[in-house]
Amino acid sequence: MSVAQSQLPREKELDKVILKFQDKPGLLLGILEEIQNLNPQKYLPIEVLEYVSQKTDIPLSRIYSVVTFYAFFNLKPQGKHSIIICRGTACHTRRSKNLLEYLKTMLNLQEDESQEGEKLFLTTADNKFTLRTVACFGQCALAPVVEIDGKIYSHMTENKLKEIVKRVAAGRKL
């Protein structure tokens, strides 16, 4: 299958990444991470996974199991900005669910029936924000914890969250 869609990395780019990691330990993780970063929407479409499988002789089932195991890989397009809310025990007891509900309302996000359990993945209609949850960041003493565009924010409140999201939406530095 050819990867020729304009938003996806081109075969030439994919081949370059695959060659870069050839014969290196952990080649699959390195390949997938770099290819995901080439995609403007920071995700791995099935066409790309199939192409990697063909070029590396790694079964697609193995590639898919790696992508679904690690939380930093995405199978759906990501918004320009990423917001991740911790749902671990410490964060939960310090009201991270309230932060989640507040953000869903603020960003006008609605869950559909396909959402499973505590895992959440929602993107705004304008693709500006993706809201996700994780089981635990391992920052329990700082709960509740929220990550925005790769930066961890601790002892989060709705007011702090509102101000940070407004600054990010306006394109201002954090």
Q: What confidence tens digit (pLDDT) does each residue in 21-60 have?
A: 998 888 999 999 999 999 988 899 999 999 999 999 999 9
For all residues of the chain together, what is the average pLDDT? 89
> Which residue in this structure is represented by tokens 């199939």?
50
Pairing of strands 121-123, 129-134: antiparallel
Annotated domain spans of the chain: 11-69, 81-169
> Which residue in this structure is represented by tokens 């089932």?
61
HEC-encoded secondary structure of 7-54: CCCCHHHHHHHHHHHCCCCCHHHHHHHHHHHHCCCCCCCHHHHHHHHH
Domain 81-169 class in CATH:
alpha beta
- Looking at the chain, the whole-number percentage of residues with pLDDT higher than 70 is 90
Cβ-based neighbour number of residue 77 at 10 Å: 15
Question: What's at 78, amino acid-wise?
Answer: Q
What element of type H or E holds 153? strand 151-153
What element of type H or E holds 132? strand 129-134
Q: Indicate yes or no: pTM above 0.85.
A: no
- How large is the greatest C-alpha to C-alpha distance in the chain, in angstroms? 50
Mean pLDDT of 130-137: 90
Question: How confident is the model at residue 113, as a pLDDT?
Answer: 46
pLDDT at 2 over 60: no
71-101 pLDDT per residue, tens: 788 998 889 999 999 999 999 999 999 999 9
pLDDT at 115 over 80: no
